[in-house]
């Protein structure tokens, strides 16, 4: 019975919004392949003589490979620890046990403690552990994340109890139940967790800024900020660097969009 109104005004509005959302990307991409209107006014809308020289500059002017390697190592450690620990905690929370209510409240209140409000003690604690300026130290605060624990809990809760009972009757030990039955069924939770923890650790800036002391340990965001601080906005290489840093994140997001959005919404609404 709904009257069908014309859809073109909706399309028009959405196209306008998308345009505004995408223009900054275009502007940076354009500068990274031309660099021309750093000094020219009015700026060219379409790049004249696009080239990749600035990308080559990035490769030779800064230790891009080193930053990249550091970021990859820290992200890999974070993802591995995150998935294992969150799956374990999520599984534990599907059980009834003494103190469960307390644990749930503890986890939920931890969500209200932003990392930025813990930097001073976090630095001191990591120092006490002797992990300053190390890969493990860089990853440690992100070893477990509350949102992802709840994503796992939700997906374990969705597994029918009869399946687990059947496995128990067959005499499977608990860890085998988790390993052979629950985890394969929680694949999408795992994918969500991998993506979210990758994005969080790949983009992390404040923690590496505080705790790395040597350039050899710096990650990409830090390298980018450092490059900005000694080059200012004077070279197209800065923008080439930006594009090179953004590309993996954008690519991963486009490939795994479903899991990503699912994770955010389920984690957010079920937390």
Partner 1 sequence: MAMAMSAAPERRRTSFLRRATTRQAILVWCFLAPSLLIFLLYRILPLAWNILLSLQAWSPLKPAVFIGLENYEEMLTDEVFWQSLWNTVFIILSAPVGIAMALGLALLVNSNISGRNVYRTLIFLSYPLMTVAVAIIWRWMYDERVGLLNYVARLLHLTDTPIPFLNSFFWALPSVVVANIWQMLGFYMIILLTGLQNIPSSLFEAAEIDGATAGDRFWRITLPLLRPSIFLCFVIGMLNSVTSFDLVYVMTGGGPGRATEILVTYIYKLGFVQTRFDYAAAVTVVFFVFLITVAWAANRLSGGNAGARDME
Residues in 210-249 that interact with partner 1 by CB under 8 A: 210, 220-221, 224-225, 228, 233, 238-239, 242, 245-246, 249
How far is CA 147 from each of CA 34, 255, 262, rounded to the nearest angstrom? 42, 22, 12
Among 69, 73, 80, 88, the residue binding partner 1 under the rule CB under 8 A is 88
Q: 90 to 109, contacts with partner 1 by CB under 8 A?
A: 91-93, 95, 97-98, 103, 106-107
Residue 173: CB minimum distance to partner 1, A: 10
Nearest to 139 by CA among 184, 80, 190, 97: 80
Binding string to partner 1 for residues 1 to 30, with x set by CB under 8 A, is what? xx----x--xx-xx--xx--xxxxx-xx--
Q: Pick from 138, 192, 202, 259 the residue near partner 1 by CB under 8 A.
A: 202
Q: Give, as ranges, the residues between 252 and 271 that touch partner 1 (CB under 8 A).
A: 253-254, 257, 260-261, 264-265, 268-271
Cα separation, 207 vs 203, in Å, equals 10
Q: For the CB of residue 75, give the shortest distance to partner 1 in the complex, in Å.
A: 12
How distant is the alpha carbon of residue 254 from its chain centre? Answer: 14
For the CB of residue 184, give the shortest distance to partner 1 in the complex, in Å.
18
Cα gap 167→174, rounded to integer Å: 9
Contacts of 35 (CB under 8 A, 6+ apart): 54, 235, 236, 237, 239
State which residue, 51 or 109, has the beta carbon closest to partner 1: 109
Place of tokens 């594009």: 243
Of residues 33 and 93, the one with the C-beta less far from partner 1: 93
To partner 1, the closest distance from the beta carbon of 187 in angstroms equals 19
DSSP state of 132: T
Per rule CB under 8 A, is residue 35 in the interface with partner 1? Answer: no
Count of residues engaged in binding partner 1, rule: CB under 8 A: 92
Give least dist CB 51 to partner 1, A.
19
The 41-60 contact track toward partner 1, x by CB under 8 A, reads xxx-----------------
The counts of H helices and E strands in the chain are: 15, 0
Q: Is 145:79 a contact under the CB 8 Å cutoff?
A: no
Query: What number of other Cβ atoms are within 10 A of residue 88's Cβ?
Result: 14
Closest approach, Cβ 63 to partner 1, in A, equals 17
CA–CA separation, 32 vs 171, rounded Å? 62
Does residue 77 belong to the site contacting partner 1 (CB under 8 A)?
Answer: no
Query: Is 171 among the residues that bind partner 1 (CB under 8 A)?
Result: no
| Closest C-alpha to 32, from 66, 16, 56, 12 | 56
249 contact partners, CB below 8 Å, separation of at least 6: 199, 202, 203
176 near partner 1 (CB under 8 A): no
Residue 179 interacts with partner 1 (CB under 8 A): yes or no: no
CB of 151 to partner 1, least distance (A): 13
């Amino acid at each position: 019975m709904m009257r069908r109104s014309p859809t073109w005004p909706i399309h028009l509005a959405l196209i306008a919004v998308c345009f505004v959302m995408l223009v900054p990307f275009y502007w940076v991409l354009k500068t990274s392949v031309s660099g021309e209107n750093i000094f020219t006014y009015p700026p060219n809308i379409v790049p004249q003589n696009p080239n990749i020289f600035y990308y080559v500059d990035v490769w030779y002017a800064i230790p891009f490979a080193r930053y990249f390697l550091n970021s990859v190592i820290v992200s890999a450690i974070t993802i591995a620890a995150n998935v294992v620990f969150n799956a374990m905690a999520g599984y534990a929370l599907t059980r009834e046990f003494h103190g469960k209510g307390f644990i749930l409240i503890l986890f939920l209140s931890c969500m209200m403690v932003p990392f930025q409000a813990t930097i001073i003690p976090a630095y001191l604690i990591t120092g006490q552990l002797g992990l300053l300026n190390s890969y493990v130290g860089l990853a440690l605060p992100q070893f477990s994340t509350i949102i992802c624990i709840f994503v796992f809990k939700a997906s374990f809760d969705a597994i029918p109890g009869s399946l687990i009972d059947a496995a128990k009757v067959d005499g499977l030990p608990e860890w085998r139940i988790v390993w052979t039955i629950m985890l394969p069924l929680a694949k999408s939770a795992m994918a969500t967790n991998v993506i979210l923890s990758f994005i969080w650790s790949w983009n992390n800036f404040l923690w590496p800024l505080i705790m790395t002391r040597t350039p050899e340990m710096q990650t990409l965001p830090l390298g980018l900020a450092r490059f900005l601080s000694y080059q200012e906005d004077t070279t197209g290489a800065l923008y080439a660097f930006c594009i090179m840093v953004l590309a993996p994140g954008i690519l991963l997001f486009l490939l795994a969009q479903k899991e990503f959005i699912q994770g955010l919404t389920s984690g957010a609404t079920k937390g």
